[in-house]
């Protein structure tokens, strides 16, 4: 081999290394990387074939010069070799048969799922809780709240499984009357582009949370859901529900909570005080006054505690508190007039307090005969009155004479 041919062959090898190695790996997200690798394999095949042709031509030439003389024979056509074997950035080389003879792995579609596409697709939802519910297999979500429909209330998009493509996340309610169970569900596409269920993020329960208000997918793939402790309806306004934002992440097979509170404290509105009381009958005392007692029972029929209870008795100003039965009061009833006031401590759910309260009308004072309200109201930790869903049973009317 001549001195000129040896550097030429070395240059071809150097050019081969520069060309091929640059095509082996392209940085970027997972989806782009897969596409780049496919293109890199096709470019590698083309470049390799070209370089081998160059190398083969040089090797044959070298062998012809250094080997024994041979008889002339048929000569294959010499392939045309480009002066610049490196593909340009915009070229789309045709893969060689060797590069496509296998069965390459299909790349999952990276197209996002719009709200309209989700509404138009037949999907399968995770099962609703036991009892009367809505269908879940091969159904279409509804854009309205008709009875028995799987209603799409809220929608967002984001890469929740970390594959570089965006998934759809939907808040769905099974409409039953004025309510129904709710769940947040994530959807993805399979390799054929079909919309499939990725998994349930969170669902309402009979206990808590009983309601889902909103959702939001943030940049790191966390699905944030605003949950409520008590479902609106039946006299319970939505503003009474305690609300929390909780975050959920996909863990390969299912979603798990990763941020936010995990439980609710007592709801101040979730009380139901029921009051009963006996009539007040005053009798003459040896000192010329008149005395009597009433029995007041206050029961909390709700599911949450009343932080405090305010008891009010609408008796005439001449009827004054008397005896030890008032010891349970946090305040001093003697300092109150029309109504008499007794502030009580916490009353837990399902518990009852019974008070036997004494009264006295001083000698020479007149109380007369009439009716009076005995009323008990829940208060929160700040001693502010709290509304109940049903409050007619907070008051009872007694007679006094």
Q: What is the mean pLDDT of residues 36-56?
A: 37
pLDDT of residue 11: 54
pLDDT at 31: 41
Question: Do residues 378 and 306 lie in contact, with contact meaning Cβ atoms separated by under 8 Å?
Answer: yes
pLDDT of amino acid 12? 53
Alpha carbon distance, N-terminus to C-terminus of the chain: 134
Q: How do residues 274-305 score in pLDDT, each as one tens digit?
A: 999 999 999 999 999 999 999 999 999 999 99
Per-residue pLDDT at 129: 83
Per-residue confidence band for 107, with pLDDT thresholds at 50, 70 and 90? low
Report the alpha-carbon distance of residue 81 to residue 326 in Å, rounded: 110
Please give the pLDDT value at position 132.
Answer: 74
Q: Which residues fall within 8 angstroms of residue 287, CB to CB, at 6 or more apart?
A: 363
Q: pLDDT digit string (tens) for 292-342?
A: 999 999 999 999 999 999 999 999 999 999 999 999 999 999 999 999 999
CA-closest candidate to residue 355, choices 271, 294, 305, 281: 294
pLDDT tier, 85 (very low <50, low <70, confident <90, very high otherwise): very low
Non-local (6+) Cβ contacts of 320 within 8 A are 334, 359, 360, 361, 362
């Amino acid at each position: 081999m001549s001195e000129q041919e040896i550097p030429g062959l070395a240059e071809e090898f150097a050019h081969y290394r520069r060309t091929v190695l640059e095509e082996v790996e392209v940085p970027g997200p997972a989806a782009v990387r897969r596409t780049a690798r496919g293109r890199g394999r096709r470019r590698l095949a083309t470049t390799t074939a070209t370089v081998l042709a160059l190398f083969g031509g040089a090797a044959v030439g070298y062998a012809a010069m250094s080997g024994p003389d041979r008889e002339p024979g048929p000569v294959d056509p010499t392939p045309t070799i480009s002066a610049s074997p490196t593909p340009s950035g915009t070229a789309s080389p045709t893969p060689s048969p060797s590069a496509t003879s296998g069965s390459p792995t299909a790349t999952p579609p990276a197209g996002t799922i719009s709200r309209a596409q989700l509404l138009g697709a037949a999907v399968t939802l995770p099962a609703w809780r036991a009892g009367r519910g809505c269908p879940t297999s091969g159904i279409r979500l509804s854009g309205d709240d008709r009875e028995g429909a799987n209603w799409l209330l809220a929608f967002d998009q984001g890469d929740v499984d970390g594959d570089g493509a965006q998934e759809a996340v939907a808040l769905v309610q099974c409409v039953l009357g004025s309510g129904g169970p709710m769940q947040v569900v994530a959807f993805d596409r399979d390799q054929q582009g079909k919309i499939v269920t990725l998994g349930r993020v969170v669902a309402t329960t009979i206990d808590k949370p009983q309601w889902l208000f909103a959702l939001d997918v943030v940049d790191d793939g966390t699905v944030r859901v605003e949950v409520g402790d008590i479902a609106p309806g039946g006299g319970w306004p939505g503003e009474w529900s305690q609300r929390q934002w909780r975050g959920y992440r996909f863990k390969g097979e299912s979603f798990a909570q990763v941020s936010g509170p995990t439980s609710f404290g007592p709801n101040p509105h979730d009380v139901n005080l029921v009051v009963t009381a006996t009539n007040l009958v005053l009798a003459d005392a040896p000192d010329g006054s008149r005395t009597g007692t009433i029995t007041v029972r206050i029961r909390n029929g709700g599911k949450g505690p009343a932080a405090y209870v305010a008891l009010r008795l609408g008796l005439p100003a001449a009827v004054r508190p008397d005896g030890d039965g008032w010891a349970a009061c946090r305040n001093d009833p003697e300092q109150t007039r029309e109504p008499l006031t007794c502030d009580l401590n916490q009353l837990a759910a399902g518990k009852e307090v019974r008070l036997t309260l004494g009264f006295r009308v001083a000698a020479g004072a007149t109380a007369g005969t009439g009716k009076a309200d005995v009323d008990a109201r829940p208060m929160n930790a700040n001693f502010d009155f709290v509304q109940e869903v049903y409050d007619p049973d907070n008051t009872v009317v007694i007679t006094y004479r």
